[in-house]
Amino acid sequence: MAVASVSTITSASPVGWQDAIERGFERASKTLRNITGMQVVEEKARVEDGRIVEYLVTMRVIFVLEDRSS
């Protein structure tokens, strides 16, 4: 119960950083059960022809470890 793992995730969105965070969080929820927290680490963007085409977020996700036996 008291032991958790910290995983670093990067996520991208064409809309904005908030959307990238939500996509990353949603995607992480599929792989990592029992997420208890997250932290935004970095906000970047990819630019093409003078326009931001991809919002990039790096975030840490904390999730409780489940026993392998169970």
Rg of the chain on CA atoms, in Å? 14
CA distance 43 to 56: 6
Strands 51-64 and 4-13: antiparallel
User: Minimum CB separation from its own copies for residue 24, in Å?
Assistant: 5
15 forms part of the interface with its own copies (CB under 8 A) = no
Residues touching its own copies, count (CB under 8 A): 43
Residues of the shown chain interacting with its own copies in the complex, contacts defined by CB under 8 A: 2-13, 20, 23-25, 27-31, 35-40, 42-48, 50, 52, 54, 58, 62, 65, 67-69
